[in-house]
Amino acid sequence: MMATQTAPDVDSIEHLDHEPECESTTHVVRPRADVFLNQHGCGAALICSPCLARLEKNCREAFNDSDALECCACHGFFHTFEALYQVVPL
């Protein structure tokens, strides 16, 4: 279901001297981030598990309605959540 390969961008995450917070704007108080989310090189964010679950649910529902989703940044078409996003646990 979720891709968990290590992305080069996160090689130094284990050396953080602080606890990263979820970057989603949906929180009043930001919880601890649980994953690094890489949008196939077009964007990246640190997010919590509930935000990841909501994103994955929304994407999978969108894939049920459409054969592919278009990235608004690169305009590439993606046929699976795993192709669109790489998820790296912190």
Look at residue 43 in the predicted model and tell me its pLDDT: 95
pLDDT digit string, tens, across residues 2-38: 444 445 555 555 666 678 999 999 999 999 999 999 9
Q: Please list the residues that pair with 37 across neighbouring strands.
A: 45, 87
Cα 32 to Cα 15: distance, rounded to the nearest angstrom: 16
Q: Is the pTM of this model over 0.85?
A: no
Burial code (b: 16+ CB inside 10 Å, e: under 16) for 17-41 equals eeebebebeeeeeeeebbbbbbbee
pLDDT digit string, tens, across residues 50-73: 999 999 999 999 999 999 999 999
